[in-house]
Amino acid sequence: MHNARMIREDLYYVGASDRRLNLFENVYPIPMGVSYNSYLLLDEKTALLDTCDRSVEGVFMENVAHVLKGRSLDYLIVNHMEPDHGATVLAVMEKYPQAQVICTAGAAKMIGQFFDGAPLGRIRMVKEGEKLCLGKHTLAFYTAPMVHWPEVMVTYDETEGTLFSADAFGTFGALNGDLYADEDKPDFGEMRRYYANIVGKYGVQVQNLMKKAAKLDIRMICPLHGPIWRQDLDKLLGKYDLWSRWEGEEGLVIFCASIYGGTMNAMERLASMLSERGVKGVKLYDISAQDKSFLVSEAFRCKAAVLASASYNAGVFVAMEDFLHDLKAHDFKNHRVAYVENGSWAPSAAKTMKAILEGQALETVGETVTLRSAAHEKDAAALEALADALCAAMKE
């Protein structure tokens, strides 16, 4: 049974959702599933914009056939060749032998790499700003390297002001009937987790894409994951602008890595001190108990972060070590951070944390607090001083 959806008389959603996949890219939990979006334009010529993941190939192919209603497919536009979108490119080329593939030179090379025997002669490579007229609609192609792979381009329908934005502006979460972001409360938490983990490292490249987008009259954004945006585009672009500059949005987060509970005990007290000083909405995480993708997202969200950890083998507790390497891999910067360490014989956590983050433009708040084995009443003064410094930093 097909599940294609009409967007306009001549534009259809032909993608599909996966609710079974446990880990997206075999690493990110997706408790609410994920959608693989694909769009079909019917003009004098027909054009399919991206294909789908192999897991939804059946319904995707059925959707395409249903919307074409026997017409031939003239163009397959490949904006991104990562397999969550490109896995069924060869299947589409085989089923629609007249279709010409439109993509960047980088994507053309990847089609050859992913598929043995792909008919590469049917590929037409396009460059920045090149256009394709389908009849009523004229499509313009803009490269978007590293958002999220090097071969990425986005497609702008000049006639309707629709941007087919590839992975940009996407989110985790299957579609649940609603096709547009404005039909439900947009889940910026999941959008941020998607952004931070998938595209987060490439803020500079996202900024470049935003500069290109600013010159276009965009009335609708059709991403490759999640709902379509036709309202509140300013809000969406505003979030992307903040995230891609690594600018925190709001709040203070305490990331705590504790083996026996001593460091956590102190952080519970610090959280109370902050609340008493008027810093509300603090989130305190035991980072061993949370999936890293949520923690990275929280780090992107917050204005200031406390990094608190037990020492471990002359270094820092492994959960914190992993987390900080992940943050660094996403080029985490432009935030305020405070350090708390704990150790029973030679505390080494703070030094190690600072060494991992060295070179990242981070502003240190307050003095490093060092605990010895447990949290003692005598440590309260140092925690109070840190709470004061954090409180002042949050007010700036």
Ligand X SMILES: Cc1cc2nc3c(=O)[nH]c(=O)nc-3n(C[C@H](O)[C@H](O)[C@H](O)COP(=O)(O)O)c2cc1C
Give the interface with ligand X as residue ranges (CB under 6 A): 258-263, 310-314, 342-348, 373
Among Fe ion, ligand X, none, residue 197 binds (CB under 5-8 Å by kind)? none
The site map against Fe ion for 229-268 (x = CB under 5 A) is ----------------------------------------
Nearer to ligand X, 165 or 348 (CB): 348
- Angstrom distance (rounded) from CA 324 to CA 151: 29
CB of residue 231 to Fe ion, shortest distance in Å: 23
Q: Does 50 bind Fe ion (CB under 5 A)?
A: no
Q: Does 82 bind Fe ion (CB under 5 A)?
A: yes
Nearer to Fe ion, 60 or 317 (CB): 60
Per-residue 3-state assignment (H helix, E strand, C coil) for the chain: CCCCEEEECCEEECCEEECCCCEECCCEECCCCEEECCEEEECCCEEEECCCCHHHHHHHHHHHHHHHCCCCCCEEECCCCCHHHHCCHHHHHHHCCCCEEEECHHHHHHHHHHCCCCCHHHEEECCCCCEEECCCCEEEEEECCCCCCCCCEEEEECCCCEEECCCCCCCCECCCCCCEHHHCCCCHHHHHHHHHHHHHHHHHHHHHHHHHHHCCCCCEEECCCCCEECCCHHHHHHHHHHHHCCCCCCCEEEEEECCCCHHHHHHHHHHHHHHHCCCCCCEEEEHHHCCHHHHHHHHHHCCEEEEEEEEECCEECHHHHHHHHHHHHCCCCCCEEEEEEEECCCCCHHHHHHHHHCCCCCEECCCCEEEECECCHHHHHHHHHHHHHHHHHHHC
Among ligand X, Fe ion, none, residue 348 binds (CB under 5-8 Å by kind)? ligand X
Among Fe ion, ligand X, none, residue 82 binds (CB under 5-8 Å by kind)? Fe ion
Among ligand X, Fe ion, none, residue 32 binds (CB under 5-8 Å by kind)? none
CB of residue 124 to ligand X, shortest distance in Å: 59
CB of residue 170 to Fe ion, shortest distance in Å: 6
- Angstrom distance (rounded) from CA 323 to CA 370: 20
Tokens of 196: 């931070």
Q: Which stretch binds Fe ion (CB under 5 A): 159-167, 180-188, 370-378, 380-388?
A: 159-167
Q: How crowded is residue 143: how many other Cβ atoms within 10 Å of its Cβ?
A: 21
Nearer to Fe ion, 111 or 319 (CB): 111
The site map against Fe ion for 135-154 (x = CB under 5 A) is -------------x------
Among Fe ion, ligand X, none, residue 314 binds (CB under 5-8 Å by kind)? ligand X
Among Fe ion, ligand X, none, residue 379 binds (CB under 5-8 Å by kind)? none
Among ligand X, Fe ion, none, residue 86 binds (CB under 5-8 Å by kind)? none
CB of residue 256 to ligand X, shortest distance in Å: 8
Among Fe ion, ligand X, none, residue 157 binds (CB under 5-8 Å by kind)? none
CB of residue 344 to ligand X, shortest distance in Å: 4
Q: Does 167 bind Fe ion (CB under 5 A)?
A: yes
Q: What is the size of the binding site for Fe ion (CB under 5 A)?
A: 4
CB of residue 372 to ligand X, shortest distance in Å: 7
Nearer to Fe ion, 84 or 379 (CB): 84
Residues lying near Fe ion in the complex (CB under 5 A): 82, 84, 148, 167
